[in-house]
Amino acid sequence: MRLRHKPWAKEKIEAYPQYIVPNPEDYRGNWKEVFHNDNPIYIEVGTGKGQFVTEMAKAHPDVNFIGVELYESVIVTALDRLIEAELPNVKLLNADARNLAQYFAKGDVSRVYLNFSDPWPKKRHDKRRLTYRTFLKLYEDIMPDGGEIHFKTDNQGLFEYSLQSFSAYGMLLTFLSLDLHKSDFEGNIMTEYEEKFSQKGQRIYRVEAKYR
């Protein structure tokens, strides 16, 4: 993904700590201080422009959502969505997913969403895929027993790789769709990429995987 540099992004991020949490490591094991409740926390790794996490927060007010996005120039668009929506149950982290264990303790997060992640198609880059085994271990370390990963992609190769990765890790596949928009799945919230791809007639693949 080619990113447009926004030199003002960092300053804007710092101006809205009520939406983009500064120093998230300070709340490791105690995120109720941020949300002021004990509702379950679902995170989206690679939240992009924030459409999914914002709409999910609207649809599920009894769940706390956190969108994790590395790039400042992208997360500011998600920030604009939150400023407009004024939702109490969604926050953002401008952070690298590889550092999740620094921000969340075991059991802090009940579910992880991975939506249209970079497929990193070259074999030598497989360790960068968000469904690679080291990432699966990372998610497991911040979720309780039985935590879930919900994964969507338009990339068949990444989908097949992820199914194999989940199975090799010993996870249980509890839902699988090879063409989500032609299935009977209810309550689907689309990302910006999903809207674009589905309008072109591309298949959307989805799987839910549970830690045993």
- Catalytic residue numbers, as ranges: 118
Residue among 46, 39, 140 at smallest CA distance from 87: 39
Opening angle at CA 100, ends 78 and 127, nearest 5 = 100
Looking at residue 24, the DSSP 8-state letter turns out to be G
Assess contact for 206 and 180: CB atoms under 8 A: yes
Assess contact for 36 and 106: CB atoms under 8 A: no
Assess contact for 68 and 109: CB atoms under 8 A: no
Pairing of strands 90-94, 111-115: unpaired
Across the beta sheet with 64-69, what order do the strands follow?
90-94, 64-69, 41-45, 111-115, 148-153, 205-210, 172-177
CA distance 115 to 153: 6
- Radius of gyration of the chain from its Cα atoms, rounded to whole angstroms: 16
